[in-house]
Copies of this chain bind each other. A is one copy, B any other.
């Protein structure tokens, strides 16, 4: 396969470069840019010196299909809205890592993103790329809306419960913590080292764009679930997300019942590891890998379930999952190129 990347100078792009380099089915990688044509990727990323000695090319729709089979968009809001339809029409597979195509209702998109939604026809053709729960649709998809980082950790953590009859559907609270790489590569006051180190921050309280994405899927799985409370935090580290999820049980349950529920849900899933009783994952235990690790427990005293779900936001929360979708779309083994053992320590 020949693949193209639009947005290779961002962090999602850098991670695609890392992972696609070890993918046995990828023969060629072309880097596109709409703003930095002519720049050699090594200037932007010295860490790929001698590995990718490539210039960023301008995007030319007419020749794209001749150059590549699949295009990954690791781009800021709006770019996919503008290009994905045309690229798909040109005959390439599209895997969009941005949020442009994830929300099915344009009004919801415009409310939360504060910008114009993509054309409905484009949205309708995009398949939400959460493989563990949407694999059959992904197989036939031409355009993938790759899930957001927080939704990936949250939805994998909540799915078995959401689909069960155990929980109080109005009680879902997600307290999410992310490393700074999720904020992207543009320097800002918030992620300035001197202000972020030895600091822990909450941000975008009740207004984060990933809220409607989480609600959309939960509602699809259980139409009694309408809203969730979701608060994101910034941790002084680069990679990793932990979602600590609180749900009220609407009837008596037990650690054992919950554990069975999760094990059954994920026993065939290579990239989801349900931890044994009493063990909860830390973010570093999935560092650099495509795993989502989950712990779950029930507190009899309070009747409340706590789920802990961790991912590497740049891998399973972005580029790794994008390649997982790429593998599924093309009938490859799902683990190809993304089967890294977590890097520890």
* A interface list, Cβ under 8 A from B: 11, 14, 17-18, 21-22, 45-51, 173, 175, 177, 179-181, 183, 185, 187-189, 191-203, 205-206, 227-229, 231, 233, 235-240, 242, 244, 246, 273, 275, 279-288, 293, 295, 297, 299, 301-302, 304, 306, 308, 310, 339-345
Q: How many copies does the complex hold?
A: 4
Q: In the complex, how many angstroms separate the beta carbon of A23 from the nearest chain B beta carbon?
A: 11
Contact B192 A187 (CB under 8 A): yes
Contact B202 A239 (CB under 8 A): no
Contact B187 A191 (CB under 8 A): yes
Chain B, Cβ-Cβ closest to A344: B47
Q: A181 is contacted by which of B235, B239, B244, B345 (Cβ under 8 Å)?
A: B345
Contact B47 A14 (CB under 8 A): no
Q: A47-B285, A206-B301 are in contact. List 18 more A-B contacts (CB 8 A).
A: A18-B340, A18-B341, A22-B339, A46-B285, A177-B200, A179-B198, A179-B200, A180-B193, A187-B187, A192-B193, A195-B345, A197-B198, A198-B239, A199-B240, A200-B282, A206-B297, A229-B246, A231-B244
State whether A200 and B235 are in contact (beta carbons under 8 Å apart), knowing that A191-B192, A192-B185, A304-B229 are contacts in the complex: yes
CB-CB < 8 A to A275: which residues of B? 46, 49
CB-CB < 8 A to A286: which residues of B? 47
State whether A205 and B297 are in contact (beta carbons under 8 Å apart), knowing that A11-B194, A47-B344, A177-B200 are contacts in the complex: yes
CB-CB < 8 A to A240: which residues of B? 198-200
